Amino acid sequence: MPAMADVVDSTVSGGTLTSTTGRHTERRDAFDGSNTQAATGSSTQWSITDARGTGAAWTVSVSATVPTSAAGTTELVARTLPVGNLTITPGAITAGAGSDAAAGITAPALTTSHALVAAEATHKGTYTLTPSFSLAIPANAFRSNYAVGSSGALNPYTTTVTYTIA
């Protein structure tokens, strides 16, 4: 009797497009206010994984709220810095094992509310990067609750940074 084989229809489905961000750390420097200085920081490693199997373009975008030093008890008005003073630099992008080459993935140094990392062609697989951050503090900028001769707590500048992958 001849050998018989079962024919099985199968469909291979792609996975998802994901980005995992790392924890941010900032240096806490004393600024003298005499000229523009930068508060800098770094992040632990991030990963971007395109397991969709389509080769479609993808982008990691970033946006941020206005850096604000909340009003306090000495100074009742919040202070702000322009959101454009915050710069996020993606750093080098490395392709993981079995991934398409990282060539063609752009990662310009830029200010917030823009694409942070973009792949316009086939870039399937996992990619890693370690971003750095910088907030330009203009001369004569003070945190809220500042008062000459006061020893009260100063309110830090805070911002919420949001990352989106699509």
- Please give the model's pTM, rounded to 2 decimal places: 0.76
The model's pLDDT over 122-152, given as tens digits with 9 standing for 90+, comes to 889 999 999 998 888 888 777 776 665 566 6
So what's the pLDDT on residue 1?
Answer: 53
| Residue 37 or 99, more confident | 99
How far is the CA of 60 from the CAs of 40, 92, 104, 114, in angstroms? 21, 15, 14, 9
Average pLDDT over all residues of the chain:
81
| pLDDT (tens digit per residue) in 80-103 | 888 888 888 888 999 999 999 998
State the average pLDDT over residues 107-113. Answer: 65
* pLDDT at residue 53, rounded to an integer: 87
Q: Is 70 exceeded by the pLDDT of residue 72?
A: yes
- Domain locations in the chain as residue ranges: 36-165
Q: For 165, what's the count of Cα atoms within 13 Å in the CB-facing half-sphere?
A: 15
Q: What is the mean pLDDT of residues 115-119?
A: 88
